[in-house]
Structure 1
Amino acid sequence: MIVSLLHFLNITERRFTEANLRRGDTKEGIQLNLGTGNRPITPADVFCSVPGRLSLLSSNSKYKVSVAEVQRRLSPPECLNASLLGGILRRAKSKNGGRLLREKLEKIGVNLPAGRRKAATVTLLTSLVEGEAAHLARDFHYVCDQEFPSRQCAENTARQYHSINHLQDPSAISKRKQNILAT
């Protein structure tokens, strides 16, 4: 019985992969990674690869989207619907795009009912996949740490504070208070 079940799963996986290759899903659709052999799909498996949204034309970055990330995007607090998830996964709008996405999600054990409404507010950061968001955070940390003149800003502020306190000029102190309250 177990041997026949494994044989059935292997044939089903092969048919699904061949059908996707015939339809051309490898070019513009989701490239589903069903794993190798008969091992079950894990949350760490790659669901698809998507091009980055923030990269320049000269650097074509592709980011891997894991099964776990797709599950998190469909669960609270985001609760994305098929249309928004398709946008994040860079799926072109097509006649049966939502249905095809739901079928591919069912293959990995994720249920996405039709007609689902989004629960959370969509922001610009919603369109980033986790890999691209981590890349953005690393770059922002680098810019803040290496490029932003924090030492010079601190020295300038300390110099202004020091000169105001040494003069004890009431007009200078009130001017400083106005500057602080204005920001």
Structure 2
Amino acid sequence: MSIRHGLLALLERGPRYGARLRSEFESRTGSTWSLNIGQVYTTLGRLERDGLVTRQGADQAGHTLYALTEAGRTELRAWFGRPVERTSPPRDELAVKLAMAVGAPGIDIRTVVEVQRRHLTEAMRTYTRLRAGALARAPEHRDEVAALLVVERLIFRAEAEVRWLDHCEARLLRFARAAATEPPQVGGRP
């Protein structure tokens, strides 16, 4: 998740202070990803160091305002114009867990799969409720549309993960059947 670019996008609408950026980021993403206020200010400090934002005085309450620089606008446009790279996918804890569970002594991989499936089913219920709420709150408002896009991405990701778990379960059953019909090894050779 690019907090850096998310903050730049919010600053394009005008100067903001850190807590407001945090609030707007969370609202725009349907409150599905919370931000630590320290993370916001650390990111703002790096953006300022890199010349992408500048301090622009303070508001009436004394909050330091940050504004987008021309270099920040250029970086934001470049970010919107680039695809999200998939050449180096992040490690997926579930894939690693299932890979390690295969053949691990005392681990029933079907149980691991089922626990994850139940978790995803509950997550999809939660995401579906969030989607219904966003749809009920006038989806023509840009923040609600933005939140809706994020929540629907989470729904689709969870659905895809359930399909993958179904595939894993079927693959493991085929493997178990094949292993049960193999003749015993002779001479201790694998």
Q: One fold, TM greater than 0.5?
A: no
TM-score (norm 1): 0.31
TM-score (norm 2): 0.30
Q: Is the radius of gyration larger for structure 1 or structure 2?
A: 1
Determine which structure has the larger helix proportion and give its number.
2
- Greater RCO between the two (CA within 8 Å, min separation 6)? 2
